[in-house]
Amino acid sequence: MSRSSTAIEPLSFRKALGHYASGITVITSLVDEQPVGFTCQSFHSVSVSPPLVSFSVMRESASYPGMRKAGRFAVNILAGEQVGISNQFARKGSDKWQGVQWQPSPLGNPLLAGSLHWLDCEIHAEHAAGDHLIVIGEVKALNLHDTGATQPLLYYKGQYCNLAAPGAA
């Protein structure tokens, strides 16, 4: 049986993947005493033992080469009310940190004020994958404070949404 190779049109591919709801994070690091970061929805857990997580980043990212040099990063899991932060860190070439409150993590990475949770990681591995890099980090510290009824920031079908939205179930 032979398979015919059909080219998948990028816009259709993106639209199809948009039907998978994802959480929104901001990946941050401190490089030469300067904070760097970017919005990332391609974050997930990899392993419990050892504790590993992963995210994907575009090969042309201006922020990631510094993170690679630093060898570490933090994952800031955004709360539902942090749409502005998500949009700010998704922009290219602007001062993403203007007006952003943060404090250093145990590894020295920027932790964004108001985030639901954070994970402090050292880069464990990196793999090339098409126009992206898959970065695997080993979690070295995390927070366990109770965020109460705070909802996560979610992305679905090209827009922000929340768990309480009509039809979300």
Burial of residue 59, with CB atoms counted within 10 A of its CB: 0-12 exposed, 13-18 middle, 19 or more buried: exposed
Dihedral (Cα; 60, 65, 71, 74), 10-degree rounding: -60
**pTM, to two decimals:** 0.88
Mean predicted confidence (pLDDT) in 69-93: 94
pLDDT digits (tens, 9 = 90+) for 9-30: 988 887 887 777 889 999 999 9
Inter-residue contact 56 to 75 (CB < 8 Å): no
pLDDT digits (tens, 9 = 90+) for 90-145: 998 778 999 999 999 999 999 999 999 999 999 999 999 999 999 999 999 999 76
Residue with tokens 């932060």: 85
Which pLDDT score is estimated for 95?
Answer: 87
